[in-house]
Structure 1
């Protein structure tokens, strides 16, 4: 469908948004609102990606290729990201499950959606805020004061960056520039001074191919909680339909097993991602190095290092989540359809559930 290197992930996203919604509707199977779990215990699940395929999604491709879904009697259709995003696709019934963040769920629910976060992949922050290493004038976030932030217009990201700058002693005053198809290109062209990257993908690419980056982690600079709780969300009404909770559980049982395999066998999992997502034409070297980074740094397991490095908890740390939601609420990020901030911060315990991930983790140890 489209050729892609790490540097053109955003270009691929722009191409992906041209895929007609009708095609997604035609391929989504159980997303018609009917139960995903039939009388014989077979389930059809449609899953929408948030971005072009990358190592964040590796568990799905591993589960497909190793037959984990078949063993759970689940048929999974992985859909390319759509123009409106995974959250809207799930809310509108185009997909049963979507890849998103807990904070995005909070933002969409503030606007009237009814999404539920059911699985948290990342247990440590993966976002990085970076300038080119050649910018010797930028040594701490304070030096980002008055600079141009290359972004996609996210109020959430802007709040994070301003907090980092203030914590470092600056005023938090920044300019913004809309990212083009590639943040690397925007920075090297001089149209922006710094931008957001993922440690497990774009930062790995930087190490492989350049240009070198100088990066900051939000939690090191005054941003509370874990800003990067990436995982899966469903629509509450879909989950309430007969059979769908059981279908979701079996899907997560198989998917978490796929992620566990990826942590234990990062090279083999990278091969499965590249071969399973042929349309993305992923850089094999990047996929392998990304999986090595993930497996060695424990981004998906336990930040304290006490957990099994090959077993996903898959659960939301509610304390960290609430700290971050409170911070974003105070920054005015979560507004309703009329542009007004609500009377209280979104509650992590209402937005998310750990029931399904906990059962899936227990099943993986049996």
Structure 2
């Protein structure tokens, strides 16, 4: 499940509005001689006053290396959506503590996370909150080369799973296998560490947990066909949000206008990626040129319709989804206590919200 772990960047220039005499900067960063404020045309003065005198610096920390889960953020930077909302946004990579720890510690105002991580964090008393679902439904599952003949969870018996050492992995495998009365004790587990799916299945494993939008699409491009067992096919409770945008309770309490502005710009970015996948993919590639161009474009075309999917708007989160997965985690002894679901997420900052 490499993409979410498994899961530098361009900086926006500030637009400075200078009153009175002296130098002033236009939208393209060109220096021009300013006339006296008294001689400025009223229309020009009114137009200038609608722009923020100074952009607010904020950071968003990713959950993993840049990929098409993050495209909407790069589009929002490229198209100036953040700047229009008065924000100068820097996209940064996660440190050892992950995006959740950095957001909670105030090292970044926003972060990319997943429902599982936020649930665990809140159980441990870490005050972070999901403010938007980046993808509406879980697109992850267990992949294997077609030659392994693994078509259902029952076929996991006698096979070797390549994992990353997270307790949730075997809980999910067991949950799926129980649907078919299969025996999870017949599954051998190997920790593949930093090895990718393609390396591991050629070496010592039969199947692994992947996100289709990246590894699955990559398999298509490599002409290495796979069998894919999606989690959502076997359990509604495993249709959780992965990934999401998150912030801290402190930001929501003390700077709600910044949270609202950030979410509004991100929503525009993801809507652009929904409407124009290839253009959006090229904006991601412009910002992160080391990425594989064919993979990014193909992945974007596959993923863009799934950002919003059947939701009434991009980013919408359902209470039932949060409750169902937290209940599943509690039932499988992955949580120490019941989650306060209503404190873990909010739709209040999405465009169109009444609050």
TM-score by length of 2: 0.81
> Cα RMSD between the aligned structures?
2.6
Question: CA separation in 2, counterparts of 1:225 and 1:196?
Answer: 14
> Is 1:356 aligned to 2:349, yes or no?
yes
- The alpha carbon displacement at 1:77 in A equals 0.6
Where does residue 181 of structure 2 map in the other structure? 169
> Is 1:64 aligned to 2:77, yes or no?
yes
Where does residue 302 of structure 1 map in the other structure? 309
Aligned residues: 310
- The alpha carbon displacement at 1:12 in A equals 11
- Kept in 2, the 8 Å contact 1:163–1:223? The answer is no
- The alpha carbon displacement at 1:146 in A equals 4.4
- Matched residue of 1:82: which SS? coil
Aligned pair partner of 2:168 in 139, 153, 156? 156
Question: CA separation in 1, counterparts of 2:74 and 2:191?
Answer: 32
Q: Where do 5+ consecutive residues of structure 2 fail to align?
A: 12-51
Which digits, 9 at most, give the CA deviation of each residue in 1:240-259, with x for residues without a partner? 22xx2111111111111011
TM-score by length of 1: 0.78
Question: CA separation in 2, counterparts of 1:299 and 1:347?
Answer: 28
Answer with 228-237 or 193-202: which moved more: 228-237
- Kept in 2, the 8 Å contact 1:48–1:78? The answer is yes
Question: CA separation in 2, counterparts of 1:98 and 1:47?
Answer: 5
For the structure 1 residues 227 and 155, does the alpha-carbon distance in structure 2 shift closer, same or farther, using more than 3 Å as the test?
Answer: farther
- Matched residue of 1:232: which SS? strand
- Kept in 2, the 8 Å contact 1:11–1:182? The answer is no
- Matched residue of 1:224: which SS? helix
Which digits, 9 at most, give the CA deviation of each residue in 1:138-186, with x for residues without a partner? 2211111343221211222321121111112202233322223312211
> Is 1:251 aligned to 2:244, yes or no?
no
> Is 1:187 aligned to 2:201, yes or no?
yes
Larger radius of gyration: 2
> Is 1:125 aligned to 2:118, yes or no?
no
- Matched residue of 1:260: which SS? helix
Q: Where do 5+ consecutive residues of structure 1 fail to align?
A: 1-7, 17-26, 28-38, 335-340
- Kept in 2, the 8 Å contact 1:321–1:348? The answer is yes
Answer with 43-52 or 179-188: which moved more: 179-188
Question: CA separation in 2, counterparts of 1:166 and 1:147?
Answer: 16
> Is 1:346 aligned to 2:339, yes or no?
yes
Where does residue 144 of structure 1 map in the other structure? 156
- The alpha carbon displacement at 1:85 in A equals 1.0
For the structure 1 residues 12 and 219, does the alpha-carbon distance in structure 2 shift closer, same or farther, using more than 3 Å as the test?
Answer: closer
Where does residue 333 of structure 1 map in the other structure? 334
Where does residue 337 of structure 1 map in the other structure? none
- Matched residue of 2:239: which SS? coil
- Kept in 2, the 8 Å contact 1:125–1:299? The answer is no
- The alpha carbon displacement at 1:266 in A equals 0.6
- The alpha carbon displacement at 1:208 in A equals 0.5
Question: CA separation in 1, counterparts of 2:252 and 2:154?
Answer: 45
- Matched residue of 1:94: which SS? coil
Where does residue 211 of structure 1 map in the other structure? 224
Question: CA separation in 2, counterparts of 1:321 and 1:287?
Answer: 30
